[in-house]
């Protein structure tokens, strides 16, 4: 292996190596990270859960819908999220992960399916659950 004799080339190589090593540290989610939300653009506050699509109808920018057990399994396994709160009698559920820093709002349907209606990063179990519902336009 050849070593760079030019001091500038060595400096660039050392800086590049330091940047690569430090990138995962800067990508980690911190507790002070602000709450960020990603609502589904197809939803408006006037839409009720009865107006939402079933799993076989979900396409494009509509909320992702699937069997409730599948949604629960995916949130638990893939995102390390746990059920945190149920919002109202309709049962909108808040799921969150302190480990991953993610949160998800799930709308259970009468037909056994559930739809993901909002999600984001910056989850903190010490925050009031209403904070997440409000950020998705449910308050």
Is the pTM value of this prediction over 0.75? no
Q: What pLDDT sits at residue 15?
A: 52
Q: What pLDDT sits at residue 68?
A: 93
Q: What pLDDT sits at residue 48?
A: 52
Q: What pLDDT sits at residue 115?
A: 93
Q: Which residue in 135, 123, 117, 129 sits closest to 41, CA to CA?
A: 117
Q: For each successive 10 residues of the chain (139 residues), what is the average pLDDT?
A: 56 54 49 54 50 46 87 94 83 92 92 92 89 82
Question: Residue by residue, what is the 3-state secondary structure of 54-104?
Answer: CHHHCCCCCCEEEEHHHHHHHHHHHHCCEEEEECCCCCCEEEEECCCCEEE
């Amino acid at each position: 292996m050849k070593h760079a004799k030019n001091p500038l080339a060595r400096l660039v190589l050392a800086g590049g190596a330091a940047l690569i090593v430090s990138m995962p540290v800067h990508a980690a989610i911190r507790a002070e990270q602000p709450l960020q939300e990603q609502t589904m653009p197809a939803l408006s506050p006037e839409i009720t859960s009865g107006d939402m699509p079933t799993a076989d109808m979900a396409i494009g920018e509509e909320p992702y819908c699937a069997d409730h057990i599948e949604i629960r399994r995916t949130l638990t396994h893939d995102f390390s999220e746990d059920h945190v709160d149920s919002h109202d009698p309709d049962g909108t559920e808040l799921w969150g992960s302190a480990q991953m820093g993610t949160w998800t709002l799930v709308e259970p349907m009468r037909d056994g399916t559930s739809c993901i209606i909002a999600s984001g990063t910056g989850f903190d179990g010490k925050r009031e659950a209403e904070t997440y519902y409000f950020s998705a336009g449910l308050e």
